[in-house]
Amino acid sequence: MTPSSLGIWLMMGAAGLLTFLTRFSFIALLGRVNAPVWLTRLLSFVPPAVLTAIIVQGVLIQNGALIHSVANPKLLAAMIAGGVAWRTKNALLTIAVGMAALLILSAVL
């Protein structure tokens, strides 16, 4: 199902408004409501959960199907990048090494 141009604008408006509300939430409420501790705890798990799902999707799934081969250059490059991220905590280096690894492994495998 392909959204119409109007559908795209509506999607963008709704997504933009909701995104703004996440940013405005406590700034708007403060003075009256402080962020409850349970909520800040819950929200702290949003990045590891959501971003990891996106990582796994980008590395292991192609056209909706799981890539079964172990000789998957994206999987190996992602593992190398994960090692660099763990050791150096340097985002640019992680991305650069991951890209280089994918280029080399795609040529070799």
Binding positions for other proteins, 24-63, rule CB under 8 A:
24-31, 34-35, 39-61
Closest to other proteins by CB, 25 or 71 = 25
Q: Does 69 bind other proteins (CB under 8 A)?
A: no
Closest to other proteins by CB, 12 or 109 = 12
Answer yes or no: are the C-beta atoms of 105 and 81 closer than 8 Å: no
| Whole-Å CA distances, 96 to 38, 43, 59, 76 | 37, 30, 16, 15
Q: Shortest approach of other proteins to residue 70 CB, angstroms?
A: 15
Q: Does 74 bind other proteins (CB under 8 A)?
A: yes
Q: Does 71 bind other proteins (CB under 8 A)?
A: no
Q: Shortest approach of other proteins to residue 108 CB, angstroms?
A: 15
Q: Shortest approach of other proteins to residue 1 CB, angstroms?
A: 6
Q: Which residues pair with 62 in a beta bridge?
A: 65
Q: Shortest approach of other proteins to residue 93 CB, angstroms?
A: 8
Q: How many of the other CB atoms lie within 10 Å of CB of 42?
A: 10
Q: Does 109 bind other proteins (CB under 8 A)?
A: no
Task: Report the 3 state secondary structure along 17-28.
Answer: HHHHHHHHHHHH
**What one-character DSSP code corresponds to residue 69?**
-
Q: Where are the beta strands (DSSP E) in the chain?
A: 61-62, 65-66
